[in-house]
Amino acid sequence: MKVTVVSRSGKEVIKGGIDLGDSATVADLQEAIHRRSKARKFYPSRQRLTLPIQPGSKERPVVLNFKKSLKDYCDGNLDYLTVVFKDLGSQVSYRTLFFWEYLGPLVLYPIFYYFPVYQYFGYKGERIIHPVQTYALYYWCFHYFKRILETFFVHRFSHATSPLSNVFRNCAYYWSFGSYIAYCVNHPLYTPVSYHQMKIGFGFGLLCQISNFYCHILLRNLRKPDGNGGYQIPRGFLFNIVTCANYTTEIYQLLGFNIATQTVAGYSFLAVATIIMTNWALAKHRRLKKIFDGKDGRPKYPRRWVILPPFL
């Protein structure tokens, strides 16, 4: 089979095209493009291959699935295929992305607790450490350590990679909020909340962290280890009432931390994280409703809240 690889402007990307056997898969084509690209720059996860569409058409192009045979995309003529190539730019694995974004808060927070950083901000006096500041340190570090462990040992991601630029964007978000919160909670002028309020906050937050972990286990069990990364209807525990039980418990665990520590920085992070997770939850809810539409033997997605607390 002869495959012509063109850019979105129609320019040939691999001069003279690529000859492949009849049983070749999309993955074989991606490997061939990789081998033939200049300086072997376009490794498979950088490539987005689609079928050509008519100029001016508003249709979304069909994205080639690396596991499928090229024949599946041939329209009548099995000897010839044209694919459109897009360079997705440098990629990193999802594990790398998550590791770096969570490592920042995990490492930066203790610096504000253990080291005399406040003298560089003009506070010369001795710093008295309140019990809430110590518990907050344990709570915070436990949370991000849990997230790193989940990244490596629990989550089964559908996409192998993410653009490298997301590492910088996500790190900027987590590292700056982590430092801002650590700065406020460990500040020499910090005023602790009552002992009672601290206990309620951390107790509630911890319960939500454990629930969040359980939600991630339920999500993991939706995919087989060697599966194709597809989506299933999440069921069990809070998933029976809310599509994104994992985001819901994540928001509440952050609320628990804020009840116990009560800082403007912490509540700002809670507000931003709630907006982000609500948007993602709406998209995930829409996707599941689209996949499980009750047609052609597919089950119908049950009635559920999208995320709590906004009660959507």
Residues in touch with ligand NAP (CB under 6 A): 155-159, 212, 219, 222-223, 231-232, 234, 246-247, 250, 273, 276-277, 280, 288
Question: Among residues 277 and 308, whose Cβ is nearest to ligand NAP?
Answer: 277
Least distance (Å) from ligand NAP to the CB of residue 157?
4
Least distance (Å) from ligand NAP to the CB of residue 232?
4
Burial 240-273 (b: 16+ CB within 10 A, else e): eebbbbbbbbbbbbbbbbbbbbbbebbeebbeeb
Least distance (Å) from ligand NAP to the CB of residue 182?
15
Question: Among residues 46 and 284, whose Cβ is nearest to ligand NAP?
Answer: 284
Question: Among residues 167 and 288, whose Cβ is nearest to ligand NAP?
Answer: 288
Least distance (Å) from ligand NAP to the CB of residue 159?
6
Least distance (Å) from ligand NAP to the CB of residue 112?
19
Instruction: Take residue 129 and report the two structure tokens written for it.
Output: 């450490």
Question: Among residues 255 and 277, whose Cβ is nearest to ligand NAP?
Answer: 277
Question: Among residues 41 and 235, whose Cβ is nearest to ligand NAP?
Answer: 235
CA–CA distance, 15 with 26 (Å, rounded to integer) = 19
Least distance (Å) from ligand NAP to the CB of residue 151?
8
| Position of minimal CB gap to ligand NAP | 158
Question: Among residues 32 and 103, whose Cβ is nearest to ligand NAP?
Answer: 103
Question: Among residues 195 and 280, whose Cβ is nearest to ligand NAP?
Answer: 280
Least distance (Å) from ligand NAP to the CB of residue 21?
32
In SS3 terms, the chain reads as CEEEEECCCCCECCCCCEECCCCCEHHHHHHHHHHHCHHHCCCHHHEEEECCCCCCCCCCCCECCCCCEHHHHCCCCCCEEEEEEEECCCEEEHHHHHHHHHHHHHHHHHHHHHCCHHHHHCCCCCCCCCHHHHHHHHHHHHHHHHHHHHHHHCCCCCCCEEECHHHHHHHHHHHHHHHHHHHHHCCCCCCCCCHHHHHHHHHHHHHHHHHHHHHHHHHHCCCCCCCCCCCCCCCCHHHHCECCHHHHHHHHHHHHHHHHHCCHHHHHHHHHHHHHHHHHHHHHHHHHHHHCECCCCCCECCCCECCCCCCC
Question: Among residues 138 and 280, whose Cβ is nearest to ligand NAP?
Answer: 280
Least distance (Å) from ligand NAP to the CB of residue 39?
30
Measured CA to CA in angstroms, residue 143 lies from 125, 146, 175, 209 at distances of 31, 5, 14, 7
